[in-house]
Structure 1
Amino acid sequence: MHTEVIVVAAGSGSRMGSDIKKQYLPLAGAPILIRTLQALAACSAVDRMVLVVSEDDREYVHTLCREHDIAKIGAIVAGGRERQDSVRQGLAALDGQTELVAVHDAARPLVTAEEVEQVLAAARAGGAATLGVPLKDTIKRVEGTRVQETLPRSELFAVHTPQAFHRSILEAAHQRSFLAGGSSTDDASLVEAAGVSVQMVEGRYTNLKITTPDDLVIAEALWKAKGEHVR
């Protein structure tokens, strides 16, 4: 199956507390976005990538990709107001022959080619799959300050990206949500709402999403621990 990855990089990253959007902050000497694209491009199962960025950043991202010699870039398009809108813009920019599509957060640069290949293989076989890790902590549902219930940890996963789908399944789920006026920050939940079963592929805890300054410190340490060098 011809396979593309939509890389969502249109967010403002307000929780980082920086004047620079988080996807452009440096990780081991290169912008986080570039590190993410390098990881995805290294996966042999990925044929093409569509980057979704803010309209004001499109030329800058074009320059970054050229300077860092990023392969497999098929399109760089402007995102929408919400994440769901941005993914829909990415879907519109897919190549006509694409049958399998993954969606990945630009702020997850530590994903491995093996993880990408595993979630793509699961989606290729079953139609829809997401990467995730079992929760380590006990989770309680709280209203106000009062605990309502303790959820069974053995059944709970923290969801990561990439998430991968047969193209027709993801497009139909987005269309269904759009017509209903819905909104979601998770593509797998849109597919679930459309009645499609999603397979969970267990990934690595190192595939963290860089959201806060603490996350960036941890990501730098993890990058050094795996022996990578600045390119």
Structure 2
Amino acid sequence: MRTGAIILAAGTGSRMKSDVKKQFIPVGGKPLIWYSLQHFTEAGADDIILVTGEDDIEYCRKMVSDFGFDRVRKVTAGGKERYDSVYRGLCALEEQGYGGKDIAAIHDGARPFADAEIIRRTFADARNCGTSIAAMPSKDTIKISRKLEDGTYEAVSTPDRSTCWVIQTPQTFCFERIKKAYDGIYADPELQAGVTDDAMVMERVLGVKCRLTEGSYRNIKVTTPEDLMIAAAFLRAEE
């Protein structure tokens, strides 16, 4: 049973308001994407697929070579939507011979603090259960809202906070199940609407309920300039 990883680094990062795409912004002296590649290497991933923008393939290949990430088997172009990029990553793992009970982890490259311990936990749960998504209990009260005619929103209900979890990545699965789920998304475009993560694909296509695995409150997604400041502070605290 092999363990593969798909690291997504194809986003444009428009909310970062930077000339440099967020996954390549230097943090602690290294490109943000470096941390994900390093953590998956430390966690023992056998094969890594790096999915990036078409224009960034050569940059990423050079970075992978310069930093000696010898488990990166392929740098490939992503697609228009996140699910397009994931599907291309799954196909790249399939080209490496993945199938059956092999494990595939899918990770947002803008989450630099999913460390090796978190990754290994998702590997273990996926081996045991077939699914594992990193998550943490919500510390905030959640409101279900609706949009009003004037463009504002109002709260309409409040779910029990004890049942609410904040979902992260990596999201890790038995390869044959996640590939089947993504094949299903591509077979029926109506299923694609509103898809935001891989567990949602499993739920929508296969009706699978995914195992929640302990992540970390530090496992933030760097999306805005404020997130970048938090990431830099985390790294300074580790020095």
**Equivalent pair of 1:110/1:223 in contact (CA under 8 Å):** no
Give the TM-score of the pair, scaled to structure 1.
Answer: 0.95
SS in structure 2 at match of 1:206: coil
Matched to 1:131, the amino acid is A
User: In structure 2, which of residues 212, 226, 237 is the aligned counterpart of residue 225 of structure 1?
Assistant: 237
Asked if 1:139 corresponds to 2:134, the answer is: no
Asked if 1:59 corresponds to 2:58, the answer is: yes
Aligned mates of 1:122, 1:211 — CA distance in 2: 28
Aligned mates of 2:8, 2:162 — CA distance in 1: 30
Aligned mates of 2:19, 2:12 — CA distance in 1: 10
User: In structure 2, which of residues 164, 169, 173 is the aligned counterpart of residue 165 of structure 1?
Assistant: 173
Matched to 1:202, the amino acid is E
What residue is the counterpart of 2:196 in the other structure?
185
**Equivalent pair of 1:27/1:35 in contact (CA under 8 Å):** no
Shift of 1:97: 4.0
Runs of 5+ consecutive residues of structure 2 not aligned to the other structure: none
Alignment of 1:1-231 (within 5 A): 1-44=1-44, 46-94=45-93, 95-97=96-98, 99-143=102-146, 144=148, 145-181=153-189, 182-183=191-192, 184-193=195-204, 194-227=206-239
**Equivalent pair of 1:8/1:86 in contact (CA under 8 Å):** yes
SS in structure 2 at match of 1:139: coil
**Equivalent pair of 2:98/2:175 in contact (CA under 8 Å):** no
% identical aligned pairs: 39
Count of matched residue pairs: 226
Matched to 1:158, the amino acid is V
Please, what is the CA RMSD of the aligned residues? 1.1
Matched to 2:63, the amino acid is L
- Compare 111-120 and 140-149 and name the one that shifted more: 140-149
Aligned mates of 2:85, 2:213 — CA distance in 1: 24
Aligned mates of 1:113, 1:66 — CA distance in 2: 21
Shift of 1:197: 2.3
Give the TM-score of the pair, scaled to structure 2.
Answer: 0.92
Deviations 1:61-120 (CA, angstroms, capped at 9, x unpaired)? 001111122231111111111110011101111120451100000001111101000011
Runs of at least 4 residues of structure 1 off by over 6 A?
none
Runs of 5+ consecutive residues of structure 1 not aligned to the other structure: none
